[in-house]
Amino acid sequence: MQTGKAIQHAARLIREGKLVAFPTETVYGLGANAFNPDAVANIFRLKERPSFDPLIVHVANLEQAASLSKHSDDRIRLLAEKFWPGPLTIVVEKNERVPDIVTSGLNTVGIRMPDHPLALRLISEAQTPIAAPSANKFGRISPTRAEHVANQLPDVPYIIDGGPTTVGIESSVIRLHDDGFVMLRPGAVSSEEIKKVIPESHIRIEKEDEFHSPGQIKSHYSPQKSMFLGISDFNDSDLSNGGLIAWGTPEYASKFKKVEYLSKTRNSEEAAINLFNALHTMEAADVEFIIADTVPEEGIGIAIMDRLKKAAYRHRNNAS
Ligand code: AMP
Ligand code: MG
């Protein structure tokens, strides 16, 4: 379908309370009219997402952002000027128009303006903010291509195909407090960059045992086979039935049955773009287990390692 027609069709579905999968620069989202609780309930049903995991609401302009939040906060405008459209979700107090199902009963709502022309056109034509989590089954690998969505969610009524996503990793999520902010989920935008925009801010340190945000669930993004992080425990093992997700071009790659390269030149941005597709490819490949190289934890590498640790978590901890 021609792009303009596809957007019109998708926007009509959103207005009718149906679900649409659409590309953003981070990952593909599964969207519904954020003000329609029945439509939003279908997101949870289709994803098999637990109701305690709140959704990010996507907007196309600052007026739509203001239509969700309880107070006007100049920091939203400052952050928006610098980072929107882009991969930063800002969690603020919600107003009563936002249905509880969107926020899992929290009195806060996560808001983001995605940096993707098709997403922005869809939200504008639908004339409503769109609640959208990643378009995958809960806990599974996030989708960075339309075919990833179609494979995991064959029942989604409509998918806008925008090709591979250009950031490749979910947005950074911050919660604004009166005196500062907390980074709830690392992404392409770092705490240091945010502090430059709201310099009076304190970055709060979170207590380990506090459940701040469902994005902090330890097991997530998991392939349906054993996955391990780092080669060092496997130096003397037979790796010929394994898959390697490689950082750079390590010489031990030749010991594996299959190799997916995150970035041959060790470029973190390129690695972020390739990460989820590498996991999808390995999940479908004829390999018995997956080993992923670690990447340097700086810049977007922090977010890459966050996702890799969660993908490997259940195997490290022998959970099912
Ligand atoms: P997803 O859309 O699947 O990438 O997941 C959205 C994530 O954003 C959630 O799992 C939370 O970690 C975070 N999030 C969304 N809304 C809120 C909120 N109101 N408070 C805290 N975290 C939130
Ligand atoms: Mg997700």
pLDDT in tens, 2-46: 889 999 999 999 999 999 999 999 999 999 999 999 999 999 999
CA of 133 from ligand 2 middle (Å) equals 6
Mean pLDDT of 189-217: 69
Q: Between 320 and 90, where is the model more confident?
A: 90
CA of 6 relative to ligand 2 center, distance in Å? 25
Taking only the tens place, the pLDDT of each residue in 32-44 is 999 999 999 999 9
Contacting residues for 162 by C-beta, under 8 A, at least 6 apart: 22, 23, 116, 118, 146
Measured distance CA(269)–CA(294) in Å, rounded: 15
Which listed ligand is nearest to 276 at the C-alpha?
A: 2
The reported pLDDT for the residue numbered 2 is 86
What is the per-residue pLDDT across 126-181, written as a single tens digit (0 to 9) for each?
999 999 999 999 999 999 999 999 999 999 999 999 999 999 999 999 999 888 89
Query: Considering only 42-51, 121-130, 309-318, which range has the smallest mean pLDDT?
Result: 309-318
d(C-alpha 118, C-alpha 6), whole Å: 10
Ligand 2 centroid, distance to 250 Cα (angstroms): 30
Domains within the chain, CATH numbers bracketed: 4-195 (3.90.870.10), 226-319 (3.40.50.11030)
The tokens for 317 are: 């901890």
Mean pLDDT, the chain, integer? 92
Closest-lying ligand 1 atom to the alpha carbon of residue 26: 4
Q: What is the pLDDT of residues 38-76, one digit of tens each?
A: 999 999 999 999 999 999 999 999 999 999 999 998 999
- The mean per-residue pLDDT over the stretch 209-216 comes to 51
Sequence-distant (≥ 6) Cβ neighbours of residue 94 within 8 angstroms: 68, 69, 70, 103, 106, 107, 108, 109
The pLDDT score that the predictor gives to residue 178 is: 84
Residue 108 CB partners (closer than 8 Å, separation 6+) = 91, 92, 93, 94, 175
Tell me how many degrees the CA angle 110-115-116 measures, rounded to the nearest 5. Answer: 120
Average pLDDT in the 272-293 region?
A: 97
In testing the pocket of ligand 1, which one of 56, 140, 176, 181 has its CB within 8 Å of the most ligand atoms? 56
pTM of the predicted model as reported, rounded to 2 decimal places: 0.93
Neighbours of 122 (CB within 10 A): 29
d(CA 95, CA 145): 34
Instruction: Locate 76 and state its tokens.
Output: 């939203």
Q: Is 176 in the pocket of ligand 1 (CB under 6 A)?
A: no
pLDDT of residue 205: 58
Nearest-ligand number for the alpha carbon of 53: 1
Whether residue 318 is predicted with pLDDT greater than 60 in this model: the reply is: no
If one counts every other C-beta atom within 10 angstroms of the C-beta of residue 144, the result is: 29
